[in-house]
Structure 1
Amino acid sequence: MKRLRLMLFTTMILTSFFLSLVQTSANGGDGKVVFYIPVEQAVERGLLAFLERSIETAIEEGADHIVFEVNTPGGFVDAAGEIADLIGNVPIPTTAFVVKDALSAGAYISLYADEIVMVPGMAEIGAAQVIDGSGSAADDKAHSAWLAKMRNAAERNGRDPIYALAMADPEIDLPEYNAGTGKLLTLTASQAYEVGYADALAEDRAELLQYLDLENAVEREMEVSFAEKIARFVTHPIIIPILLSIGSLGLVLELYSPGFGIPGIMGITALMLYFFGHLVAGFAGFETMILFAAGIILLLIEIFMPGFGIFGILGIGAMIGSLILASYSTSHILVSILIAAAVTIAVSIIMFKYFGNRGPLRKLVLTEAITTAEGYVSNINREDIVGKAGEALTTLRPSGTALIDNERLDVVSEGGYIEQGKKVKVISASGSRIVVREHHAYNEE
């Protein structure tokens, strides 16, 4: 019995030792784990959502260091501000590894990493002037605020703020780097290293890890999922009004098409992409899609079962409310909705003017008319009595009653006054209107 216990104890010790060797080997001998997170394409809300997920995953899986591989032409200031705060609050060491471009907002968020390492001969950092939606330089207020942000970002890790300010303000003259006043500063990798904006230069990840003293660390890489790629595209501020315009136009054009066709599919697909992108990015929940669907149902009820406009108003309110709730920016989504509404109204007017009512609209609008020329009359024509004579049973002033061919009929005189008992003759009959005139020859007889 003692021998059996000894054997079991020895087996457990050896198994534990073997597992520790395997884990040590997997961890490169020192147990360090490095996560690579790409910061690519435009800086916008979709990138923010991806970085939030990636950083959370890295921390949960025990990362010792996070490397942000930067290659971006810049993007939107509001998203850049939140990404910078996110990177600046990571509880483990971080490095911005600029593999090519860290321009505009990319330069700003790179400055929030603990260290910046750049690829010599390839990487650049700078050109960070803030611009408005039309592509022009922002107003003085926005420009001043952005300069303050760039200064804080540089000073955060002890860098000389003059270079950060020159990246954002073309009036700052650093002739040895930006060729004089009027040009934004953009530093090459060697220039950035010279002025302290790059802590090191590295050709690749191997040299980077050597600089970070993590040569034996386990390397892991975060990748943008297919759903996140779609989300990054459809949550782009320029794409949102396009999607909403296509969505509303598709639904309106579907009213001109018999059955359910391409316009309806395009409209629904565009709107579903809007909600899907914001759902994946973490800005919206399924309740927004339910609210939008309820709005469509209310509109259909208003179209086919009119309710004095109540259902229509509620439907439009529900749809607009769902779009606002799903968006990351109330002001931006309101502008996008106005753009989509203007486009839809303009196209609808053109459709009404040049194509008329088609498709399901034909069921809602009466377009046919019943005319006499087509043989329609409100009453039966009494052409059989035209030319026949009779007697005025009442005075005609000018209407009254006459006895024509032994039949009492409502008649009207041709315009004159005809006394009771006078003889009359029918001169025309159209529907219920029977016109008579006094028949003098008959009266003389």
Structure 2
Amino acid sequence: MIALITFLLLLVSLAFPKIFVAEWEGPITPTAAGYVERSLKEAQEKGGSLYILILNTPGGLVESMRKIVQAFNTAPLPVVVFVYPPGARAASAGAIITIAADVAAMAPGTNIGAAHPVIAGPQRDKKNDVMLKKALEDMLAFVRAIAKEKGRNVKVIEKMVKESLSLSAEEALKKGVIDLIAYNLGDLLEKLHGRKVKKLGRVYEIKTKGKEVVKVEPLLREKILKIISNPTVAYLLLMIGFYGIFFELYNPGAVIPGVVGAISLLLGLYGLSLISVNWLALLLILLGILFFVLELITPTFGALTIGGIISLVLGSLFLIEENSPYGEIPKQLIFGVSLFSAVFFLTVGYLGIKAQRRKKITGMEAMIGEEGEAITDFKKGKGKVFVHGEIWDAYSKEDIKKGDRVKVTGIKGLRLMVEKVREDESGGAEES
């Protein structure tokens, strides 16, 4: 019975094809690729006749971009990329994703291009120059193949890659980079109706009138991954993780700081792994934290703290590569975190030293410096004294008589080391 119902529902979905609409705003990361692949697969499985990706991106990882393009090319239904809303862009990897669609559309006030590949790490290195040249040639061959397959302007698209050319929506349409301009989704659907697309050896006629539009929302997992792949969020999670674990180690048994710290640290590291980061800079941040911790263990009166500040600031500044499509960590945040770290560890270190130098108020060490009274004569340096309301065995290098005031100078085992209190130490001779 269940199988029959499922079969009937499948027939209904196939009889009334739907238009599936996905939307991605942000860098092209593995999370973006996973979302596009999943939503495109859902469109295929649920009888979709058209797939539209609304895109607004500064670019991202080449590998993730290639996965999206492959998903477009193998999907047995027309794929449309719509750069929207006005003010949005399809830059770098986003430009290649747009031109790889069966129909490329843009809203007025948007732009496309600047797809020159970059290599993470120092750029003025001879080895990196060779790698960059290889990456450039590989990307040129890739976009040429796409442009020829989709019937787009090969020379202009090559300039996007080679010369970082960027075009407005009107310029892109005029130069044959995109297929149409639409003001919004409704306008796009109207202009797509009746359009024919050749793909996978057959011709698809796009029909949009009267079709149900289904929006594919990101899963909770995808939303979380999108948030933590933001460099600022990942950086904050990293620092919260360090401090949480530090508090747990400093106060064993607190539990909550350790749990929060461990989770934050792992999320921060995972978020950074999704984007292009300088791992040497991450090591500098770790080194800075290590310097701060060592300042507490072996106080150097600020030397290690200064080293920690320098290491933390440099690591934070270089953590995200220059011109990264993911944006950069705000300088105010970096200097704020560094200043807080310096003040925090210097304060904790100062309080630790002050506590070590403070006179003990509990335990046997608290007896040192206390005064009492000899209750026996000392014979061969040994006798008994009354100190702190208790009778103690004591010894002294001085001749002490019963009734003399004595002061504790040390402890050996369960015996006190004492000396006679001079009249000047007691504030003068007692009055009679």
CA contact (8 A) 1:35 1:219 kept: yes
Q: CA deviation at 1:142?
A: 4.6
Counterpart selection for 1:249 from 243, 257, 265: 243
Q: CA deviation at 1:50?
A: 1.6
Distance 1:109 1:411, change over 3 A: closer
Instruction: Mark the runs of 5 or more structure 1 residues left unpaired by the alignment.
Output: 1-18, 171-183, 275-322, 391-400, 415-424, 436-445
CA contact (8 A) 1:44 1:79 kept: yes
- The residue type equivalent to 1:206 in the other structure is L
Aligned length: 315
Q: CA deviation at 1:105?
A: 1.5
Distance 1:412 1:79, change over 3 A: same
CA contact (8 A) 2:69 2:97 kept: yes
For the pair 1:143 / 2:129, whether they are aligned, the reply is no
CA distance in 1, matches of 2:247, 2:394: 53
Distance 1:75 1:136, change over 3 A: farther
**Could you tell me which residue of structure 2 aligns to residue 95 of structure 1?**
80
**Could you tell me which residue of structure 1 aligns to residue 99 of structure 2?**
111
Of stretches 332-341 and 246-255 in structure 1, the one that deviates more from structure 2 is 332-341
Distance 1:150 1:241, change over 3 A: farther
Q: CA deviation at 1:232?
A: 0.5
For the pair 1:270 / 2:264, whether they are aligned, the reply is yes
CA contact (8 A) 1:35 1:63 kept: yes
Distance 1:66 1:209, change over 3 A: same
**Could you tell me which residue of structure 2 aligns to residue 176 of structure 1?**
none
1:48-87 pair list within 5 angstroms: 48-87=33-72
Give the SS at the match of 2:193. Answer: helix
CA contact (8 A) 1:118 1:198 kept: yes
CA contact (8 A) 1:150 1:161 kept: no
**Could you tell me which residue of structure 2 aligns to residue 161 of structure 1?**
154
Distance 1:90 1:354, change over 3 A: same
CA contact (8 A) 1:64 1:93 kept: yes
Cα deviation 1:265-297 (Å, max 9, x = unaligned): 7536634755xxxxxxxxxxxxxxxxxxxxxxx
Of stretches 259-268 and 146-155 in structure 1, the one that deviates more from structure 2 is 259-268
- The residue type equivalent to 2:348 in the other structure is F
- The residue type equivalent to 2:289 in the other structure is T
TM-score (norm 2): 0.57
**Could you tell me which residue of structure 2 aligns to residue 122 of structure 1?**
109
Please give the root-mean-square deviation of Cα atoms over the aligned residues, in Å: 4.8
**Could you tell me which residue of structure 2 aligns to residue 294 of structure 1?**
none
Give the SS at the match of 2:48. Answer: coil
Distance 1:78 1:249, change over 3 A: farther
**Could you tell me which residue of structure 2 aligns to residue 296 of structure 1?**
none
CA distance in 2, matches of 1:339, 1:264: 23
TM-score (norm 1): 0.55
- The residue type equivalent to 1:164 in the other structure is I
Cα deviation 1:371-414 (Å, max 9, x = unaligned): 664329xxx9868436xxx8xxxxxxxxxx7999xxxx999999
- The residue type equivalent to 1:149 in the other structure is M
CA contact (8 A) 1:242 1:340 kept: no
Rg: which structure is higher? 1
